[in-house]
């Protein structure tokens, strides 16, 4: 099956049932399919062909869903991007994916339009706030031939300035993952799923929430902003049955209820899930006490289309684990030579299932990541005797802040361009609230003077706000390992 058929099958089966809710707006499955068809036909009229990339810089909205499916219905390749990226980050990603079309919203588009002469490959820039494209005269379904292995989506796992890494996902992998996700969550057309603080440019929001809901005919309620009061009101009003979030959101929830008491009827909830980072035991205990329900942990990554494991929904899973591999996935722990390790021995987690096709335009990185059909995740963990997975670390250089993946190289590359910086290293340090925070260690050029505020301001001008370091430390020299590399373990230990 492909994504076009998935949406069209749901439109046929569920018809006038509500697919998406946002504020006062309610779109049925038929209306959502028609919107996507209008987008598809408008793009065809612009000359978009199978295999052309369409960059999407959109916040969560019904238009995001319609545009995404409009692109993939005609064999285009959707490239969802974080709306917080600055022009320098976008330039790197655009140059890698070379989109024919960019679609966004007015304020976000301004710097792109001003720099449009730089991007000769972009033929059309669309502002969805004008909504003309949603008013295309034809809602007829596209006849473009699609194969399950056709590329549907390029997901950039970060916005590395020097080495963009685009995860290539096929129609087949995404549909299979939606089916696996739905089975794991025991999701049905009676479920109502809240989409809160999970951007759809990320696999968590797009695949785990939206695609899984479309596959099963569930209703997705989009909750804009970051107001916990608003979220709780929506759960009560719309009788939400499924809520998914990162641990930081659960912390905000328990803090709110502890401070003000439980003011809303949340009895409709049957499933609360957490991913993006391990749920701290203290936050989970507080949530269980206040909300009188459990929150299941699950684990996955963009390269695996979405999640691979999930704790038991019956609350009988092992505390501290992220559950067992879902039906449709295989999972092993291996040593540095790829040999499978016995239970309770930590090693690299490798998985087999609906994984990515590879990294876009990066055959070497693809060959390192996918070997004999297995995806080498770079995450470190162990399996117990009952095959419960416990995450113990990462072999790759990455920081996770509030569930958001940050590559230190992104920040190092930007700060290295500052005229006063001679050498820079970036590490993650543990943080009880955010999971980790970003620490930058800087050696200035001889005779230069700079303070933390100056370098943070420089970062805010050149990178997405979630990458801006929380702490900047100035040193006379950076510690080095025997081979001359910066000793990041030492930097993490430093106070």
User: CATH number, domain at 140?
Assistant: 3.40.50.12780
When comparing pLDDT for 363 and 157, which is higher?
363
- Residue 185 has a pLDDT of 97
User: CATH number, domain at 415?
Assistant: 3.30.300.30
Domain ends where: 185, 218, 244? 185
Whether 242 maps to a domain, the answer reads no
Confidence of residue 161 (pLDDT cuts 50, 70, 90): low
Domain that holds residue 433: 400-493
pLDDT one-digit tens code per residue, 10-29:
999 999 999 999 999 999 99
- Residue 277 has a pLDDT of 79
Whether 207 maps to a domain, the answer reads no
Distant-in-sequence, close-in-space partners of 457: CB < 8 Å, separation ≥ 6: none
Statement: residue 395 has pLDDT above 90: no
Residue whose tokens read 């987690």: 349
Whether 450 maps to a domain, the answer reads yes
Confidence of residue 147 (pLDDT cuts 50, 70, 90): very high
Confidence of residue 104 (pLDDT cuts 50, 70, 90): very high
Whether 60 maps to a domain, the answer reads yes
Give the Cα separation of 394 and 488 in Å (integer).
14
Whether 146 maps to a domain, the answer reads yes
Helix (H), strand (E) at residue 491: helix 488-493
Global pTM value: 0.89
Whether 222 maps to a domain, the answer reads no
Looking at the chain, the whole-number percentage of residues with pLDDT higher than 70 is 97
What is the rounded average pLDDT for all residues in the chain? 92
pLDDT one-digit tens code per residue, 202-225:
999 999 999 999 999 999 999 999
pLDDT one-digit tens code per residue, 269-307:
999 999 987 788 888 999 999 999 999 999 999 999 999
User: How far from 393 is each of 326, 336, 404, 437, CA to CA, in Å?
Assistant: 21, 15, 16, 16
| Whether the Cβ atoms of residue 348 and residue 379 lie closer than 8 Å to each other | yes
The whole-number average pLDDT for the span 51-74 is 97
Statement: residue 396 has pLDDT above 80: no
Looking at the chain, the whole-number percentage of residues with pLDDT higher than 90 is 79
pLDDT one-digit tens code per residue, 411-423:
998 999 999 999 9
- Residue 480 has a pLDDT of 81
| Whether the Cβ atoms of residue 166 and residue 156 lie closer than 8 Å to each other | yes
The count of structural domains within the chain is 2
Confidence of residue 140 (pLDDT cuts 50, 70, 90): confident
By mean pLDDT, which of 136-140, 180-184, 204-208, 254-258 is the weakest? 136-140
Q: Of 132, 133, 101, 131, which is closest to residue 116 (Cα–Cα)?
A: 101
Give the Cα separation of 119 and 378 in Å (integer).
34
- Residue 394 has a pLDDT of 64
- Dump strand ranges (E) for 85-172: 101-104, 124-127, 151-156, 166-170
Whether 150 maps to a domain, the answer reads yes
Domain ends where: 138, 159, 185? 185
Whether 296 maps to a domain, the answer reads no
By mean pLDDT, which of 129-133, 195-199, 318-322, 427-431 is the weakest? 129-133
CA 463 centroid distance within chain:
18
Domain ends where: 161, 185, 209? 185
- Residue 206 has a pLDDT of 98
């Amino acid at each position: 099956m492909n994504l076009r058929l998935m949406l069209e099958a749901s439109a046929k089966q569920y018809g006038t049932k509500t697919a998406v809710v946002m504020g006062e707006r309610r779109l049925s499955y038929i209306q959502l399919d028609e919107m996507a068809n209008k987008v598809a036909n408008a793009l065809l009229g612009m000359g978009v062909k199978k295999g052309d990339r369409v960059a999407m810089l959109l916040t969560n909205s019904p238009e995001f869903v319609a545009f995404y499916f409009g692109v993939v219905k005609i064999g285009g390749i959707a490239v969802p991007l974080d709306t917080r990226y600055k022009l320098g980050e976008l330039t790197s990603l655009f140059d890698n994916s070379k989109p024919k079309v960019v679609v966004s919203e007015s304020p976000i588009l301004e710097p792109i339009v001003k720099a449009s002469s730089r991007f000769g490959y972009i033929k059309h820039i669309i502002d969805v706030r004008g909504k003309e494209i949603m008013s295309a005269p034809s809602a007829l379904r596209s006849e473009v031939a699609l194969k399950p292995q056709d590329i549907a989506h390029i997901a950039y796992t970060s916005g590395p300035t020097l080495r963009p890494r685009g995860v290539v996902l096929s129609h087949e992998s995404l549909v299979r993952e939606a089916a696996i996700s739905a089975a794991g969550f025991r999701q049905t057309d009676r479920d109502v799923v809240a989409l809160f603080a999970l951007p759809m440019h990320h696999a968590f929001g797009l695949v785990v929430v939206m695609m899984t809901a479309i596959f099963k005919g569930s209703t997705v309620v989009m909750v804009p902003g970051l107001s916990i009061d608003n979220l709780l009101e929506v759960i009560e009003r719309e009788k939400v049955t499924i809520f998914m979030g990162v641990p930081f959101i659960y912390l905000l929830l328990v803090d709110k209820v502890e401070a003000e008491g439980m003011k809303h009827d949340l009895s409709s909830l049957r499933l609360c899930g957490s991913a993006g980072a391990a749920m701290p035991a203290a936050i989970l205990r507080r949530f269980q006490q206040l909300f009188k329900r459990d929150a299941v942990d699950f684990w996955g990554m963009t390269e695996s289309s979405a999640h691979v494991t999930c704790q038991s929904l019956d609350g009988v899973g092992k505390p501290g684990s992220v559950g067992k591999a879902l039906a449709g996935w295989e999972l092993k722990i291996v040593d540095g030579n790829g040999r499978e390790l016995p239970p309770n021995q930590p090693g690299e987690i490798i998985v087999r299932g609906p994984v990515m096709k590879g990294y876009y335009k990066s055959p070497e990185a693809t060959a390192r990541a996918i070997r004999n059909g297995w995806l080498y995740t770079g995450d470190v963990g162990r399996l117990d005797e009952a095959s419960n997975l416990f995450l113990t670390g990462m072999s790759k250089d990455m920081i996770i802040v509030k569930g958001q993946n940050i590559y230190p190289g992104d920040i190092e590359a930007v700060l290295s361009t500052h005229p006063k910086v001679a050498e820079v290293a970036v590490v993650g340090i543990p943080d009880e609230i955010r999971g980790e925070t970003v620490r930058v260690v800087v050696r200035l050029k001889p005779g230069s003077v700079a303070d933390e505020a100056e370098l943070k301001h420089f970062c805010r001008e050149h990178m997405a706000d979630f990458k801006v370091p929380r702490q900047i430390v100035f040193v006379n020299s950076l510690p080095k390992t025997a081979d001359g590399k910066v000793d990041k373990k030492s930097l993490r230990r430093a106070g």
